[in-house]
Structure 1
């Protein structure tokens, strides 16, 4: 194991330059995008800021979902589990963490069907169950957001520190601040547009790494050479992998399977409780909700699968070479838990260029995910706290202002909270494993909220708290039993976290089912359908009535399609494909491994086409009109009368739409000659 600190390949100036410089660049881009949208009549109000006026197409929905789910945690921990388990790690990581997004398409379409005017999923909870349930679910939703941003910041800051020597506390503060700068300006729609660029850059870097490892690099250069090196590594390290036979070339690994089960349970809870995912479902137009989430889930699969199949196992193969940062030692447990496999592998195959690429990856993945969290949390705080409990009579402008304050406030809170966690030596591995303790217990009641008429307020509240306390008790008890003590190391291990998460979900499910059987609420969905939006002038608005795409029969068919697709993809990606390889304990041959590596590349190509090229094709008419309008100067229009010239006022003279009354708009000025 590594006993000395690895050399730092880049200067601190590079770290500060990327974090501050790219943050400023994207803030300027956001200002430009927002200005273009305003020139086209797009008005910044609370509805636009939080849910983009519910008009996102399939491509941008998929891109936004993929970006939201591509955390720095995703990139770092996927490479880490591949380093620990070999091909089993990358495979199970992708399989167990992509299905949640596709499953979520069911909740997205049910929200469209039953509460088309809702702004957050917590509003649905409040209307159906009342204040106690609303506050209970809000606690777990915000806890999920806090844990997510903590893992993103801590993992990203540790990686940036290993690459540049940049102070960890500086990263923890500057990363959320740079995101805040452009999130405030653009809201959800413009943030998704910027995140689209982030995701495209991440995929391009993944392509560069793949070709460097498997095609052009002189250290490996081909899948066949990698296969040989993995065999040599297993022999050299005395077959250390926790897999069948200690090899890195099999899916048969009980440890990897436990990791997969823990991930799918706890991160299904994260997705379902995270308002930012509900927001994108609300923001999508009805025809795009299901295909957007399914396409996003399939596209996201390539992020961990291709990257970890490339960089995670490259770290195994090249760890004994002088180019590896910890040579001649292996990586230490601390370095592995901090998620440093990816930056070390990048340095090994590409030197300072590889380190720079990972630095950009960290910035892109941190900022794209944090921006979604900032918008999601600010929407909850502005609507579910400020509008509901503090100032029910708040106007649209006041809600928008509250949302801006909440973006800034949550960014500052997370920077301080992340600094506290780093100070007490909480790392990425600990947060990743224990997240399910806070997210699992809410799953049964939340799912029943959208699909069951029997569950009432008592069942919902009792199940979520019973499940939570069951999870905590099981978690701490087993940590004590397995390790003999309760400390950060023991409670962060996979086994107590897994069994605690299962206990929480199981207890919550038993409670809500039992109460619902004996106390049938007979809910009719009427109160959810009665939710209304409020226009800028204070009048009620029903999008389901005004928008013909909210056709009940069409949405019912979409719900059935979502369920069928979800079942098929879950069985294919998480049951049939992985467990067939697990059950047979198949040892990858050279030809099979070569095909496996090529599939990882093809999946990344599919991902790039789905979330980078397809959105451009889908939005081509709008983009062309933007380009045309941006490049065209205002013209003076001549009227039929020789005595009058009609002059369009410039933006500084135009009355903002939210200050107009009814259908009154600013009219062109008429100047007499």
Structure 2
């Protein structure tokens, strides 16, 4: 009881500091008509007005945002070429160089979580469940956002050379397991892409006059694929930065206009007090305490939050687009970036949705009825309507702009995700491997076994004493490769055809990577083109965003426990993960159909009954529970990992995922200073090196979960129905949080990017000066030569992917 009193006193103090506690806390409205039930919108309700003609929308989206993103792509390529010298490296296409700053990682994480569906759908939750709707929605999603850093830091230390999480499946469990989870991964990308397409359709068609389905899907395909083809994943980071800046700027404008700026035509908007008086008088849903819109005690919203925990787990952990953005950063930067990204994302449902949703209810109260039909509310048109009402046609254009930027960020991420799976896990693995049958401990170049970097349990035996191990020399020491790079660089400068590679040891593999680069380019093009027929089929099917979002989770969430176990548990086995994933998929579908059949109309009313809250919760819980339980039990029964040596050997399989011409340890030279190793550091050494990053991931992740999933909810549910003081304290907290995050989003990434580029530029200048200096000693000369060759090889060895 004392804890409850302390919390109440704390909230009241915050309210007093903001001048927010009214003299009469029981007052719910100013017109004496509380509670007031809103009438349904009449047939002639104007709804959302179109603000652009079709050709204007096409010019804005394709030439405006598409052209802007292409400029960013060319800028990014120039930076990689003239500063980092790796613009044509295959791996850099899918990991942006592997050294993305933590603030840019955070902005990208937040931006890619800013789905158009989130921006639109979270406001719908406010209208249907009150202020509790977006709050519990955010709480459910945040739970998984803060678990992900724990997985990502283990991923980066145990498989630092992997570009997809499926490569871990292949390295540890073999072909069968890999194929099964390639299916799950592509299914997840398909579900998410369909959701993005439907959200884009709702946004573009609501604000564009006579926008046909064909027009909408063509525009989205152009936005998704244009700059992905030119700049790869790295450009996605830059586009995500501008997307996040735009979202936060528009968010601040909405907040100021709805809560703090008043005029004669505001219809009850313009102050927190007036908004509260209106919304508190509107009769809310049955599941809310006192049928109030200003309470966090909402059974519907709470149920939705629980569902969202499972749904977001599928989106977060099984989507390759999520992994590739985190893989692009080093362990510590990835942890900090994801935590900060979660803080940024929290602003959208709690501030944007509350602002536009509460603004909508205020306008409806003064109008006497809803301004949108129920179907329009479900489509997510609340935010576009409020933007138009408070900012005119400019507001509609701003929402279209926000939606377009969100589409570009999330859609291009899915294009790159599918392309990376096709390139690394399908084409390179099964259709065109460099060397057939290479095992994890064998060299790709020569096929011989690598020298063990740890002592196995059989090391005391002399049975392998006469075995011939791989003796491939390091590429920086290859004089022939040096000559190749210089000759091809000279040919490029003189605009001549590049000569063939002459190095007998590395040349063939470099030609092989060139062919993969060419295939990568075509792959991105065809994945983008396939979006068009996919979108047309989806539009004809009649499914809506809500249905695909939740039914898609039922069939993709069985992938989550196996992915988690493959990264975190050494005793996980291929048979266990296959059995868990397939049993979870079957259980989820069966339970969903069974629950749907119990509602009126049964399975004959398929789209409606399968999207009921209890149906979704039952199906997702069954899919997750069966997948986790079966995976753990079968793995425990079939595992051969018994000792610490067995565990270390198991993780060594993932350590061996690498590109021999671009070894992953080169990206960690700064972190590995002082650690002695031959060839590559062992799994145990990587664990020691990044122990602080792991501690940081566990500490920040668990603390953040405690704050957002326990502390804040416990504080807010204390109050059955918010009085005006508590309401003003909550919205003020959200607004302050939004301003702080906006400052971080706008200023931190460019500062860190400039610092990183200046650091690399000075390093390049130092190497050039060292090369020209006649007074350097032999060791300095050799080190400079090796460093320079590494830079040249990553550039000249992959220029244009051309083979004469």
TM-score of the superposed pair, with normalisation by structure 1: 0.88
| Aligned residue pairs, count | 629
Q: Is residue 2:694 matched to residue 1:559? A: yes
C-alpha RMSD of matched pairs (Å): 2.6
Summarize the Cα distance change of 1:589–1:527 in structure 2 as closer, same or farther, 3 Å threshold.
same
Match of 1:260 in 2: 305
CA contact (8 A) 1:456 1:516 kept: yes
3-state SS of 2:380 partner: coil
Match for residue 748 of structure 2 among 614, 622, 631: 614
Match of 1:33 in 2: 76
Q: Please state how far the C-alpha of 1:79 moved relative to its aligned partner.
A: 0.8
d(CA) in 1 for partners of 2:218 and 2:761? 36
Pairs within 5 Å for 1:170-319? 170-218=215-263, 219=266, 220-234=269-283, 239-240=284-285, 242-319=287-364
CA contact (8 A) 1:82 1:309 kept: yes
d(CA) in 2 for partners of 1:67 and 1:304? 13
Match of 1:127 in 2: 171
Match of 2:572 in 1: 455
Match of 1:534 in 2: 659
Q: Please state how far the C-alpha of 1:660 moved relative to its aligned partner.
A: 4.2
Summarize the Cα distance change of 1:545–1:599 in structure 2 as closer, same or farther, 3 Å threshold.
closer
Q: Please state how far the C-alpha of 1:88 moved relative to its aligned partner.
A: 0.1
d(CA) in 2 for partners of 1:432 and 1:313? 24
CA contact (8 A) 1:105 1:289 kept: yes
3-state SS of 1:126 partner: helix
Q: Please state how far the C-alpha of 1:474 moved relative to its aligned partner.
A: 0.5
Q: Please state how far the C-alpha of 1:468 moved relative to its aligned partner.
A: 0.6
3-state SS of 2:87 partner: coil
Match of 1:383 in 2: 424
Q: Please state how far the C-alpha of 1:494 moved relative to its aligned partner.
A: 2.1
The one-character-per-residue Cα deviations of 1:168-193 (angstroms, maximum 9, x if unpaired) are 33112211222311111111122201
Match of 2:380 in 1: 339
The one-character-per-residue Cα deviations of 1:72-121 (angstroms, maximum 9, x if unpaired) are 01101111111111110121122222332221111110011211111111
CA contact (8 A) 1:339 1:428 kept: no
Match for residue 499 of structure 1 among 597, 618, 621: 618
Match of 1:432 in 2: 549
Match for residue 723 of structure 2 among 565, 569, 589: 589
Q: Please state how far the C-alpha of 1:434 moved relative to its aligned partner.
A: 1.6
Summarize the Cα distance change of 1:611–1:396 in structure 2 as closer, same or farther, 3 Å threshold.
farther
Q: Please state how far the C-alpha of 1:253 moved relative to its aligned partner.
A: 0.9
d(CA) in 2 for partners of 1:541 and 1:151? 35
Q: Please state how far the C-alpha of 1:125 moved relative to its aligned partner.
A: 0.8
CA contact (8 A) 2:98 2:329 kept: yes
TM-score of the superposed pair, with normalisation by structure 2: 0.74
d(CA) in 1 for partners of 2:59 and 2:607? 34
d(CA) in 2 for partners of 1:255 and 1:613? 39
d(CA) in 2 for partners of 1:101 and 1:227? 31
The one-character-per-residue Cα deviations of 1:315-336 (angstroms, maximum 9, x if unpaired) are 11112556xxxx9555323212
Match of 1:670 in 2: none
Match of 1:43 in 2: 87
Match for residue 203 of structure 2 among 113, 135, 159: 159
Match of 1:367 in 2: 408
Match of 1:602 in 2: 736
Q: Please state how far the C-alpha of 1:485 moved relative to its aligned partner.
A: 1.8
Summarize the Cα distance change of 1:159–1:518 in structure 2 as closer, same or farther, 3 Å threshold.
same
Q: Please state how far the C-alpha of 1:512 moved relative to its aligned partner.
A: 1.7
Summarize the Cα distance change of 1:544–1:206 in structure 2 as closer, same or farther, 3 Å threshold.
closer
Q: Please state how far the C-alpha of 1:429 moved relative to its aligned partner.
A: 1.4
d(CA) in 2 for partners of 1:137 and 1:284? 24
Match for residue 423 of structure 1 among 534, 540, 544: 540
Summarize the Cα distance change of 1:53–1:32 in structure 2 as closer, same or farther, 3 Å threshold.
closer
> What 5-or-longer segments of structure 2 have no aligned partner?
1-39, 435-508, 673-684, 763-771, 775-790, 799-804
d(CA) in 1 for partners of 2:609 and 2:238? 42
3-state SS of 2:146 partner: helix
Q: Please state how far the C-alpha of 1:527 moved relative to its aligned partner.
A: 3.8
Match of 2:514 in 1: 397
Summarize the Cα distance change of 1:415–1:244 in structure 2 as closer, same or farther, 3 Å threshold.
farther
3-state SS of 1:496 partner: helix
CA contact (8 A) 1:318 1:348 kept: no
Match for residue 399 of structure 2 among 348, 354, 358: 358
3-state SS of 2:602 partner: coil
d(CA) in 2 for partners of 1:102 and 1:150? 26
CA contact (8 A) 2:326 2:334 kept: yes
Match of 1:650 in 2: none
Q: Is residue 2:124 matched to residue 1:80? A: yes
3-state SS of 1:426 partner: coil
Q: Please state how far the C-alpha of 1:509 moved relative to its aligned partner.
A: 1.7
Match for residue 578 of structure 1 among 713, 726, 744: 713
For the pair shown, which has the larger CA radius of gyration, 1 or 2?
2
d(CA) in 1 for partners of 2:796 and 2:400? 47
CA contact (8 A) 1:470 1:500 kept: yes
CA contact (8 A) 2:72 2:238 kept: no
d(CA) in 1 for partners of 2:663 and 2:432? 18
3-state SS of 2:281 partner: helix
The one-character-per-residue Cα deviations of 1:530-574 (angstroms, maximum 9, x if unpaired) are 4242255xx866447755358532312322321222222212211
d(CA) in 2 for partners of 1:615 and 1:464? 39
Q: Please state how far the C-alpha of 1:26 moved relative to its aligned partner.
A: 1.8
> What 5-or-longer segments of structure 1 have no aligned partner?
629-637, 641-654, 663-673
3-state SS of 1:192 partner: helix
